[in-house]
Structure 1
Amino acid sequence: MKVRLNSLFLSNFRNFKTLDLEFCPDWNIFWGDNGEGKTNLIEALYCLGYGSSYRTNYDEELIKWEEKGLYLKGEGCKREVFLDYEFVLSRNNSKIRKVNSHRVNLRDSTKWLWMVVFSPDDIWLLKGPPLERRNFLDAKLPLFNPRYPYLKSSYQRILSQRNYLLFFAKKNKRTDGQLESWDKQLIDVGSIIVKIRLEGLRKLSSFFATIYPEINGKECRANLVYKSSFLKGDFSSLTLEEIKSIFRKELELRRKKEMEQQVTLVGPHRDDFLILRNGVSLRPFGSQGEQRMAALSLRLAELELVKSKEEDYPLSLLDDIAPELDPARQRLLLNSIKNQGQVFLTATNLSLFKNNVSQETYFYQVKANNVRRQV
């Protein structure tokens, strides 16, 4: 029995007052004009699965205008176990996620309903700053270590405190020995993060290497390479203690410059990864089309990564990506995910899907703040 979401009850989410939907275990297509709220439905599914949005960092934006809060509920299935998911958000910023009526920590990845979102904004994985790629990679690293969200949160706290001390040191010409203590914490937690990232990116790259040539339609050598702010050369086989040692030495070398600039210059918060085709980075040298194919390949590789760890495909959420692709690649994408788990897809028309979707497909028209299944 594959991972799936059977239903969604929604109250006061974005432009929708109340919805009660049942889903097909295979394909579910939301169609309608632009501006009707199709993307909001995809976002609601994501919030139910993770307790956060992939579109905004401001939770209040999720609540319908002039309402005090929102509520989501859905029945799902994971590893042959039926689960009830709930998500509650109020304007006083209280946020609650429950699984089978028990409140769960938002960072507890063992309680997530895994999903992969395909969006036109994925092009920023190529065009955007390193933060875009770090966030993309970090989102799937709980598959390798369930405590990764806690490690990342702890690292951000340590980094903020260390940066404050660097500011204080320049202003007062002393640190009272506190900086060394925060150095150790930064090295200990940061090195674990780097080690997990190396493992995760290596696995993701193995899938990307196969998928990208197929999607791009040309034989080539494709891979992903971690770009560290303090590790040099071939560091793929370094032990955790070796990473710590190099991190420590680099901090010592940068101490004077960090004091001058009042900011931490090395660590996983400064890292990136390169997306290469035949050894050349696609970010500065790829065409628009090549970059879009690479972004799509990253998402398809993400599907395979989740399956390799969870033993089943996650939900695929495709938000209006068809217009970004030529007809041949539209068909290739749909065929690529046809038998890879439950699919939720948005579109402005249905012409593309007549012969390119699963036989088991539910169609929903999204119009005037309502969603109606077409039978």
Structure 2
Amino acid sequence: MAVGLYIHIPFCARKCAYCSFYSLPGGRQQRADYLRALGRHIALWGQQCSGETVDSIYFGGGTPSLLADDIPAVLDAVRRHFNVAAGCEISMECNPATIAPHQYNALRKAGVDRLSFGVQSTCDAQLVQLGRLHTVQQAKDSLLDARAAGFSDLSVDFMLGLPGQQVQAADDMAAFLHETRPTHISAYMLKLEPGTPLYAQKDALNLPDEDAVADLYLAAVQAFSQLGYDQYEISNFARPGRRCVHNMKYWQLEDYIGIGPAAHSLYRGRRCYYPSDLSAFLGGGLELLQHEGRSDLEEYCMLRLRLTDGLDVSAASCQLRSGRLPPDPDIDLAAVIGRAAPLATAGLVLAQGSRVSLTPAGFLLSNAITAKLLFG
């Protein structure tokens, strides 16, 4: 089976008020040093994974569009050290404030075929509060410019549960989608992370309560569906045939390699990650990797239940019998279907044959439902 490749670009023009991910400003020399180190680590992983075929490449961050002019050279390095499949999905995250129209053609020529724009909100006041550098109009212009340059696979990120946000925001998002016509949507609920500016201000923020956020989520799911976007994961929606190939690897426990500070990998059933330390990455090699052990049955089931395809109990049993997953004495797969019955009556799950999946209402209670299905 082919592997995915995640390449982390840890630089941001300015850190957003909600963000707890590893990122830093990075001057010109630091960015140049990083690109050289990135090339070295790509070569090291290429040696480690000799003969592997890559069918998805994802540039995440940070803000990869800050280094848009350098992405072609990085892709050249990947092609030198990996077998890149024909039709490989190559995605890049973009901040509408850090990408210019003239850069799209070079990215397309280099093989990038999917752009993901961090729109986050359709309200300019909320964008300012979040610390975003773009306006709603800039986000629209970026998507339209990318489409005019020939990009047909475009994704947008929205955030739900923002200060002052009401259920009517679903209509505003729908209007934005109707105008810009992306092929994919990610809609994540705001989580206040300790150490971030928004967390420090949380008592003064006009945050919607849990019921209001739930109403907004369900309204967004319905609005996206009416526009032709099928929900395929708790927070992800796509036109038919436009699911994100790379992200599906995460949720299906397929092999992927992460390169860069704080990047995680799952390779041949074992997890590892780079420390969140740019200096160490610049000077080190694969000896930096921290190893976390194997994937397990609980993780497999939990990730499958994030998907609208759901958990196939028969397939999970096959994973155990083949030895691809270690057994877990606390999980009785045979009991899952029976436990799903009352949840199905309540409209929280769908149970068909050996498969159980969560409904949109069930996704709002996904942690509790997953625990109920697996542990009773």
Q: Same fold (TM over 0.5)?
A: no
Choose 1 or 2 for highest CA Rg: 1
Greater relative contact order, per chain length (Cα 8 Å cut-off, separation 6+): 1
Report the TM range for the smaller structure's normalisation: under 0.3
The normalised TM-score by structure 2 is 0.28
